Amino acid sequence: MINVNSVVKINMTKVNQLAKAQITALEKTAEALHTEEVQAQVMPRNTGALQNESTFVDYSDCANGKASLVSTVPYARKVYFHPEFNFRKTENANAKGLWHEDWIDGEAKDFCKNAFKEFYRQEGGL
């Protein structure tokens, strides 16, 4: 009969650093998505209120793994869910309804996954 013993030492400093890195990476990913959407010029824009002043990242639940991109103007829901509207393209050349869709299941669907991975690696010192 063979007797085997082992000792596992957990580096709690590194575990805590990685836990904090998750939150920071999520915050940075949400902000990067917001910036990406603004630069892609997909949000309908007339005065810039929806895109600039009234849309922001809500970080309040990042500790639970959730960040939200929030638009606070009352017409945001209406213009988002009605892609059939004829959006003016003078301010944002790619303005449309359902503007998040490219990052949900369109050609930019891996943006958030890749951004999070990179931010987590940076913040976690990996």
DSSP summary character for residue 70? E
Residue 47 has pLDDT above 90, yes or no: no
Q: Which residue has the tokens 């949900």?
A: 104
- Whether residue 83 lies inside any domain: the answer is yes
Residue 125 has phi, psi (to 5 degrees) of: 65, 35
Average pLDDT over residues 12-35: 96
Q: How many residues does the structure list for the chain? A: 126
Tell whether 6 is covered by a domain: no
CA 21, distance to chain mean position in Å, is: 15
- For the stretch 104-125, pLDDT in tens is 999 999 999 999 999 999 999 8
Closest CA to 100 of 23, 40, 26, 24: 40
Domain assignment present for 1: no
Residue 71 lies in a domain: yes
pLDDT of 52 higher than 90: no
Tell me whether residue 104 is in a domain. yes
Is there a domain that residue 3 lies in? no
Helix H or strand E encompassing 119: helix 111-124
Mean of the per-residue pLDDT values for the chain?
Answer: 94
Name the residue range of residue 94's domain: 12-124
Residue 23 within any structural domain of the chain: yes
Mean pLDDT value of segment 33-42: 95
Percent of the chain past pLDDT 70, that is, above it, reads: 100
Number of domains in the chain: 1
d(CA 86, CA 44): 10
